[in-house]
Amino acid sequence: MKHLILGLALLGTACVYSTELENDDMAKEEAAGVGGWSASGKLINFNRMKGIKVQAKIAEPGMFTIQFGVTRPPIVSGATDVVRPTADITWAVAGNTTNRRISVVDGLSFSGVGSYPQVKMYDGSIPGQSGVTGLVYSGSILVAPGTRPSQNQPPSLDPVTYINNALAEAVYDGAIVLNPTDFSRFLVPPKSGAISVFVTVSDIDNAGSAPITEADFVIEQRGATTLLSKYSTIDQYVPLAAGCTSVAVINRSAALTEVVSLRWGIDG
C-alpha cells in the first residue's frame, strides 16, 4: 500500500521552473497546478540569451501537449517591428532524447511522448534579418497531459539561412528573389523534426509577361549526393523523402524573376 501511494504521488506532482537561456537572470516561474507545468517571461528580439524554460519530470512516459502564448510588442515603426519567437523541445525517455524546433505563434499547440519534456522559448532572429533591435515582448509555455487537436497543417519552422546561387550561405528574411535561371538551396535543419516542406513561388515585376506556370520552376529534394525527388507542387506541404538533406528551388525561366518562400513542417 505504501508503494501504491508513493507511485500515485509521483504521477500527480507538478514541477515548474523557467530559466533565462544560457543566463543566470531567471525568468519568473509560476506553478500550473497538479498535473501540469507552466512558465512565463520576457523575450527580446535578436537576443537568444533571453528566454523562458519549462522542465517537467514525471514517473511514467506519456502523451503531453505544449501550448504557447506570445504577446507581440506594439507596432511603432511599421514593417521593421519584427519578432521571431522560436521554441526548442526535447522529449526524453530512459535517458534517450529526440528534439524538435518550431516557430511559435500565439495559441500554437504541440504534442509528443516522453517522461521528461523540456521546452525553451526565445527570439530566433539573427543578424542580417529585418527588425529594429531590442523589442521586448512576452511569452508563456503550458505543458499538460493530452494530445494536440487534429489540425490541417503541422507546426512549422522558418529557415534562417539558405545557400544562394553563388554557393554561399545567406540570411533568409522571409523570401528570396531568384533571377532567371538562378537557384537557391535550403538545408534541412538538424534536430528539428522536419518531415515536410512548404514552398511558394510567384513572379515579380514582370509587367506584360505571361503568368508564372509550373514549367517556370522546379523543386528538388536532394540527399548528400543523390537527387531524391523533383516536382513543381507549391502552396502545400510535401513530405521529405527519406535521406533528404536539402531542398533546392530552381528558376527555369529565361525571362521571369521569381520570389520564393519556404517553411519546414515539423513532426508534432
Asked which of 113, 145, 177 is the last residue of a domain, the reply is: 145
Dist CA 56 CA 119 (whole Å): 9
Percentage of the chain surpassing pLDDT 70?
A: 81
**Model confidence band, residue 18 (pLDDT cutoffs 50, 70, 90):** very low
This prediction has a pTM of: 0.82
pLDDT tens by residue, 77-104: 655 678 899 999 999 888 888 999 999 9
**Segments forming the whole domain that contains residue 257:** 156-266
pLDDT tens by residue, 176-214: 999 999 999 999 999 999 999 999 998 876 555 567 888
150 falls within a domain: no
Report the CATH number at residue 208: 2.60.120
76 falls within a domain: yes
**Same domain assignment for residues 223 and 242:** yes
**Same domain assignment for residues 171 and 199:** yes
**Same domain assignment for residues 76 and 171:** no
Residue-level pLDDT at 198: 95
**Same domain assignment for residues 181 and 138:** no
Report residue 155 as a C-alpha cell: 507546426
C-alpha separations of 40 from 3, 21, 73, 128, 203 in Å: 35, 13, 16, 28, 42
- The count of structural domains within the chain is 2
pLDDT tens by residue, 114-169: 887 899 999 999 988 888 888 899 999 999 887 776 666 789 999 999 999 889 99
**Same domain assignment for residues 138 and 6:** yes
Closest CA to 264 of 183, 180, 177, 172: 172
Cβ–Cβ under 8 Å, residues 102 and 268: yes
**Same domain assignment for residues 135 and 164:** no
Report the CATH number at residue 19: 2.60.120.380
Q: Give Cβ neighbours of residue 165 (< 8 Å, ≥ 6 apart).
A: 178, 179, 182, 183, 184
Conformation bin of residue 255: beta by default, left when phi > 0, alpha when psi is -120 to 50? alpha
